[in-house]
Amino acid sequence: MLSLLLVAGATLLALYSYNRLRYLRFSQYAHIPQVPSHLIWGHLKAFGELTRRGIPDRHPDEIFKEMWMSMGRPPLMLVDLRPVNAPMVLVPTHDIAEQISKPTQLFPLSTPKSPTWTHMIPIIGESSILGKEGADWKELRRRYSPGFANQHLWRLLPLILEKMGPFCNYLDEFSTSGEEFSAERLISNLTFDIIGAAAMEVDLHAQHMDRSKQSEVIRLFGDLVQSYSDDNNNFPWWIVPLTALKRHQLARRIDSLIKRIIQQKYAEVKEEAEGNRSRSILALSLQESESLTPQLLSETSDQVRSFLFAGHDTNTSMLQWAIYELSRTPRALKAVHSELDEVLGPDTDPRVICSILAERGHDLLPRMTYVNAVIKETLRLHPPAGTARMTTPGTGFTVKTSAGEEYLMDGLIMYSCASIIQRDPIVFGDTADDWVPERWLGEAANRIPSSAWRPFERGPRNCIGLELANIESRIIIAIVARKYEFIKTGLGESALDATGLPTLNDKGQYRVQSELYNTRKMTSKPVDGTTMKVKFAVKPLSALST
Ligand code: HEM
């Protein structure tokens, strides 16, 4: 037993040293000459700070922000995360984030991704579009872009609307029973069903509350993603070997199920030939392929798994926050109601709205400007994801601050931190930390530099699913906002006055007993799964006098 422990200890030590050396081999970094010492959190101090301030409960972004503010808000901050990760530079301003994401002479397809994405390989596969570079990435983007283009997405509208039925049934049940529920679970199941339909035109039965009735893909995917929540810090495999093994096994099973679906869809596409009726993003990408080679099958499975993950996870988080912010901001809820009355008519029955949208969605959804502002503002204040880039030592990649200082970034993870960038008081003024959808309406919106809003990131590597996310979010808000009244419970719950009613603060939002905040479960998400109660809205707010 003792010798076994010794061998295990020696192996871990060797791996630790190897990893440490691997990062130290970023020669320019060894003494960090490119970043002045007053901008650096040395690794012991950085780990101490992250632990002291609340990892794993709180999202690292919040902690990085506090560390960055305690340094006096410098244009860059270096956090040394060796040996668990390479040293990381936090990018807190939109002008530097833009230098990283835009095409340059050195990198015409924008600065390469940092290898940090590889911890997601079990979920999205090695050849995922999220991690590919150069010509390989360009080819994948060319192949899949038509499926995500607006004119194709309108064809998917009926598939999306079909999934709203079970979602509203659950809300009806919870409204009747008064039971508390997790908005994350409900919305995540819905968005999973939607992306399953849009990506592959299959029913994943994600919305069954009884797990045994969900498809196997959903159950395995759920277990796989859960393994990342249990191990919040995304440690390297050599620190969590058993978790890594479990992920590997789950990934293989999901891959083989997805491959089976692709083979079936490929056969269908080829049978339909001329009068093609398949609408999914997958079907569209397969049309041009002469044969489904093992390589194409494997690559396609990786892309489909990437779409399943990226297509449901981030949108779920956004919708949780949007529903919560609306529930505590009567002014905004009233504006949403008025707009929906005007655009969709007075009937709030989800079935009626679905049939109106199925017929005229492409005309009506773009007219929902206030709902769009709600989505934009929610993504500004609570961005679910960001981007991390890295150039190898010797590349000579530099960024310039607004004061004209130039820093060499080679060998460092450049983390574009949307949750800091999008709350910059220089851009968003005194209300930078407040949820104010009106800032995105009319003239006021034109004064915001476009690079200061980047929840989908910018440049060639921006989110391919941006339009799909927008359509989906508008539909969901349009269907639930007038029919139901959501009430947060637990964290973020309203503080009630002596008469039992919520009271407004000076920002026009209900005062709360405690703040709701994000944690990290792969991406940013409300820490409590957004526990809520719901009831049928008694009378549309828009019908009430002010
Ligand atoms: C509110 C919803 C969403 C947000 C905030 C979001 C955000 C992002 C961000 C920040 C990136 C850049 C990641 C990086 O640089 O590493 C990205 C890329 C990507 N997203 Fe989204 N996303 C959303 C919805 C979707 C949807 C619905 C899909 C549909 C499949 C999707 C698929 C992708 C893919 C495939 C990429 C990689 C694109 C490439 O590298 O060419 N996303 N997304």
Look at the block and give the residue holding tokens 């009567």. Answer: 330
SS3 state at 145: helix
pLDDT of residue 113: 97
Which pLDDT band, with edges at 50, 70 and 90, does 60 fall under?
confident
* Model confidence band, residue 21 (pLDDT cutoffs 50, 70, 90): very low
Which pair of structure tokens corresponds to residue 382? 């609570």
Look at domain 137-384+457-543 and name its CATH class. Answer: mainly alpha
Cα(508) to centroid of ligand 1, in Å? Answer: 32
Dist. CA 147 → ligand 1 center (Å) = 14
Q: What b-and-e string marks burial along 448-477, b requiring 16 or more CB atoms within 10 Å of the CB?
A: beebbbbbbbbbebebbbeebbbbbbbbbb
164-177 helix and 150-162 helix, angle to the nearest 10 degrees = 40
CB-CB contact of 288 with 258 (8 Å) = no
Q: For the residues 194-213, what does the mean pLDDT come to?
A: 92
Q: How far apart are CA 489 and CA 195, in angstroms?
A: 29
Residue 458's contacts (CB-CB under 8 Å, 6 or more residues apart) are: 97, 98, 101, 102, 451
Q: Which token pair is 188? A: 């995540």
Residue range 454-513, pLDDT digits in tens? 999 999 999 999 999 999 999 999 999 999 999 999 999 999 999 999 999 999 999 999
| Confidence class for position 26, pLDDT limits 50, 70, 90 | very low
Is the model more confident about 258 or about 404?
Answer: 258
Q: Going by DSSP bridges, is the β-strand pair 181-182/531-536 parallel, antiparallel, or unpaired?
A: antiparallel
Counting atoms of ligand 1 from 1, which one is nearest the CA of 379?
A: 5
Q: Give the residue carrying structure tokens 């690559």.
A: 299
Q: How confident is the model at residue 81 (pLDDT cuts 50, 70, 90)?
A: confident
Quick one: pLDDT band at residue 518, thresholds 50, 70, 90? very high
The per-residue pLDDT for 296 is: 95
The whole-model pTM stands at 0.91
CA distance 513 to 492: 6
pLDDT band at 19 (very low <50, low <70, confident <90, very high): very low
Q: Where are the domains of the chain?
A: 2-118+387-428, 137-384+457-543
Q: Which residue's CA is the nearest one to ligand 1's atom 18?
A: 463
- Residue 372 contacts residue 438 (beta carbons within 8 Å): no
Could you count the other beta carbons within 10 Å of the beta carbon of residue 165? Answer: 12
Give CA–CA dist 60/64, Å, rounded: 6
Residue pLDDT, tens place only, 276-314? 667 889 988 998 888 999 999 999 999 999 999 999 899
Mean pLDDT of 363-390: 97
Which residues does a 6 A CB cutoff place in the pocket of ligand 1?
Answer: 113, 129-130, 141, 306-307, 310-311, 314-315, 318, 379, 384-387, 455-457, 461, 463-465, 468-469
What's the whole-number mean pLDDT along residues 104-123? 93
User: Pocket of ligand 1, candidates 314, 378, 453: which has the most ligand atoms within 8 Å of its Cβ, to mutate?
Assistant: 314
What's the ipTM?
A: 0.99
Res. 171: pLDDT tops 90: yes
Choose among 481, 380, 502: nearest CA to 436: 380
